[in-house]
Structure 1
Amino acid sequence: MTSSETAPVAIISRNDDSRLGTPLLVFLHGYGSNEQDLMGLSRYLPEEFTYLAVRAPLQAGPGFSWFPLTQEIDYSVESVGQSVEALWGLLEPLSKQHSSITLLGFSQGMAMATSLARYQRDAITAVVGLSGFAVEPRDLEIFDDEKVQQNPIPLFWGRDVADPVITRDKIEYTLKWVSQHTELTSETYPQIGHSVSMEELEDVDAFLKKVVLGRD
């Protein structure tokens, strides 16, 4: 496992003056990708948001990852916890400058988004998870699932039920977790595989407008 020695790399859609007081949406990319991957989705989402795309801290081939994966697509919960705490270290100062924080994660990025919501429930307004999963905590102590259960997080979960990447055990755990800890909006998109479709982005746009911006 090789960690980046530099400060977190991120790109943001507005300058400091124009973003103060706006809702913040944070893009969390998937395994082997980078901060550029999801930023283009912002053109299909509400213009009221400031969009921040963060690069994961670990090198993974030509891209980056939030935590290492084994050949069985398994993970170390210790490494998950380290990345969650590091991500919050980046976002905590920004939380004082924005009206809300929403997390949008694709694949492994959904694991990070739901994990951060379980770590800092009071700071996160909503989560969008695309083609991903929630982490089974095992002995990870930083998650406060009891607080999340008492105050369920609004979650949009979009996926193809035949996703060829996310393993069945992770889907089964995620189904159980979201049923107990979220205000769930669940949509499935046949034949998109492990990707994002325009129909899905339209549904995400509607979710953000309703849940975060308070529009009908």
Structure 2
Amino acid sequence: MTSNLYYIKRPSTLKENAPLLIMCHGYGSDENDLFSFASELPEELFIISLRAPYAMQPYGNAWYAINFDAEKGKWSDDEQAKQSVDFISEFIDYACKTYAVNPDSLTLLGFSQGTILSYAVALTYPKKVRNVVALSGYINEAIIPDSIEEKDVAHLNFFCSHGTVDQVIPVDWARKTPVFLNALDVNHVYKEYPVGHGVAPQNFYDLKDWLKQYI
């Protein structure tokens, strides 16, 4: 079995049944971006950072196209996004078969576009995911199932955060997330920080403390 996505990894200190953390970067970035967090995260985590499948010019990668056409306004290629959801789902299967990890302890950590995908993977393939760390993103209902059964997502845990002055993804979009998760009775934390489209130091400390509880 081969991987459908390029990735880099940091092995766990555990020899077997390691909790797995898969990172999904934002639009125009690459696998090295979020991987800079790895040295600060618990040593027992087996960490994999993915590179999104679509190369951009002159550099960077995307999980799906975003068109900034002035006439149409900003719009996302939802079909391409759904394809990337499947790519990540298939990668989870690959990683769990390839490495000595615990398939019942998988965390997705995303930023921006990577967060949108992480939400979608967890809500589309909930049996494959346990936790989601969702930084500076939102739930795009166009790329998740029309109906979600509460019993299918009852085990999921979400840490969601957003900057109050985010100029890329409005904080109002993120504020719909806890409403959505409350309706499904899903365990979650939602926090805001006085920053733009990025991860404040306090945000990082909070997500680290949260992770220690759930891995």
2: CA distance, partners of 1:79 / 1:144? 21
- Alpha-carbon distance change, 59 to 144 in structure 1, aligned in 2, over 3 angstroms: farther
- Which residue is 1:37 aligned to? 33
Given that residues 84 and 112 in structure 1 are in contact (C-alpha distance below 8 angstroms), is that contact kept between their aligned partners in structure 2? yes
Given that residues 164 and 192 in structure 2 are in contact (C-alpha distance below 8 angstroms), is that contact kept between their aligned partners in structure 1? yes
- Alpha-carbon distance change, 9 to 136 in structure 1, aligned in 2, over 3 angstroms: same
Given that residues 44 and 202 in structure 1 are in contact (C-alpha distance below 8 angstroms), is that contact kept between their aligned partners in structure 2? no
Q: Normalising by structure 2, what TM-score?
A: 0.84
Partner amino acid, structure 2, of 1:186: Y
- Which residue is 1:189 aligned to? 193
Given that residues 84 and 116 in structure 1 are in contact (C-alpha distance below 8 angstroms), is that contact kept between their aligned partners in structure 2? yes
SS of residue matched to 2:149: helix
Given that residues 95 and 123 in structure 1 are in contact (C-alpha distance below 8 angstroms), is that contact kept between their aligned partners in structure 2? no
- Which residue is 1:156 aligned to? 159
Q: Which contiguous aligned blocks of 4+ residues in structure 1 show a shift greater than 4 angstroms?
A: 140-144, 147-150
RMSD: 2.4
1: CA distance, partners of 2:176 / 2:202? 26
Q: Does 1:208 align with 2:208?
A: no
Q: Normalising by structure 1, what TM-score?
A: 0.84
Displacement of 1:158 after TM fit? Answer: 1.2
Displacement of 1:19 after TM fit? Answer: 5.4
Partner amino acid, structure 2, of 1:66: W
- Alpha-carbon distance change, 73 to 46 in structure 1, aligned in 2, over 3 angstroms: farther
Displacement of 1:169 after TM fit? Answer: 6.5
Given that residues 29 and 105 in structure 1 are in contact (C-alpha distance below 8 angstroms), is that contact kept between their aligned partners in structure 2? yes
SS of residue matched to 2:208: helix
CA deviation vs aligned residue, 1:95-125 (integer Å, no higher than 9, x gap) = 3542211000000010011111012101111
Given that residues 138 and 173 in structure 2 are in contact (C-alpha distance below 8 angstroms), is that contact kept between their aligned partners in structure 1? yes
2: CA distance, partners of 1:142 / 1:171? 19
SS of residue matched to 2:67: coil
Displacement of 1:148 after TM fit? Answer: 6.5
- Which residue is 1:109 aligned to? 114
2: CA distance, partners of 1:197 / 1:169? 19
Match of 1:28 among 5, 24, 49: 24
2: CA distance, partners of 1:66 / 1:93? 19
Q: Which residues of 2 match residues 164-179 of structure 1 at below 5 A?
A: 164-167=167-170, 170-171=173-174, 173-179=176-182
Partner amino acid, structure 2, of 1:67: Y
Partner amino acid, structure 2, of 1:63: G
Partner amino acid, structure 2, of 1:188: E
Q: Which residues of 2 match residues 126-145 of structure 1 at below 5 A?
A: 126-137=131-142, 140=143, 145=148
Given that residues 73 and 167 in structure 1 are in contact (C-alpha distance below 8 angstroms), is that contact kept between their aligned partners in structure 2? no
SS of residue matched to 1:87: helix
CA deviation vs aligned residue, 1:69-118 (integer Å, no higher than 9, x gap) = 12244323211111111111111132354221100000001001111101
Given that residues 112 and 137 in structure 2 are in contact (C-alpha distance below 8 angstroms), is that contact kept between their aligned partners in structure 1? yes
2: CA distance, partners of 1:9 / 1:19? 23
Given that residues 123 and 148 in structure 2 are in contact (C-alpha distance below 8 angstroms), is that contact kept between their aligned partners in structure 1? yes
Q: Structure 2 regions of 5+ residues with no counterpart?
A: none
- Which residue is 1:78 aligned to? 79
Q: Structure 1 regions of 5+ residues with no counterpart?
A: 1-5
